[in-house]
Chain A
Amino acid sequence: MNIGGTRKTDGTYIVKASGADATFVQIYNAATGETILWNNTLSDGDWLRLKSDGQTAEVSDDSGSTWTPSNGGMSGLVPQLQGGIDNAITVTGVTGTCAVNYYAMG
């Protein structure tokens, strides 16, 4: 995915498990070389929100209305996003969807 701007900026990843529980959710950005492994179980229907700003993980069981911190079991870095080039972001360990939100920088 390409983002606007020219500088590296923070990304927010919202992973939604759908159809099965997810374990060992991993997100890798080839553009920055950063990988986060969230070594927990995301129940079917629950959402996981990972932010590179502050390196936080949160889980929601009410479709994003409320979030509960879930930083335990994290290893690596929640990837930032590099402006101006393609960010090949690979998501593994989950059946469902993933959306990436960001504020373009520069």
Chain B
Amino acid sequence: MSDSLTYNSIDLADYGFVVESNGFALASPTPRVNRQPLTNRDGEASQGVSFDARVGTVSGVITAANLSALQTARRNVEAALAAGQTGGKALTFDAVSGKQWTAKVTSIDFGSETATTLEVAIQFYAAQPWPIATSETEGDDESVSPGGTTL
């Protein structure tokens, strides 16, 4: 398995994309103290800490056998990432096992290009900053009775 990413069930490794730096998974969502000024009283009320959305850029490179194949791979990557137009899609990274975000693509920037390589920077936005497990944990059936059973 290469160090790539899968977006909307499409593995970008299929198009020769390899992640070089992951500024999305490693981004630290900004904590936000929920504060409320108080009328005619000193200080303020607070209700714990929330976290902002996760926004970060994944940088990598597309590698192909020749320029024609590289252009095809670029179009395929763009098409795969365009799925986010209809809402957040599942995003996983080979290097971050067992975790999944629901993310939208907010920018795609193509950088230096050679005959066989093309640098790509993809910015993702996840409204829910914390990932969920990629697989559901299924609990066992535990006996319960009408009077009440604590699992």
A residues adjacent to B (C-beta < 8 A):
1, 3-5, 7, 9, 14-16, 22, 88-106
Contact = CB atoms under 8 A, between A and B. Distances in A.
Contacts of B141: 14, 16, 97-99
Interface in B33-84: none
Interface of B: 130-133, 135-151
B131 A91 contact: no
23 contacts: A1-B139, A5-B132, A9-B132, A15-B144, A22-B146, A88-B150, A89-B150, A90-B151, A92-B147, A94-B144, A94-B145, A96-B144, A98-B141, A98-B142, A99-B139, A99-B141, A99-B142, A101-B136, A101-B137, A102-B137, A104-B137, A106-B130, A106-B131
B146 A94 contact: yes
B139 A95 contact: no
A75 to B, nearest CB: 18
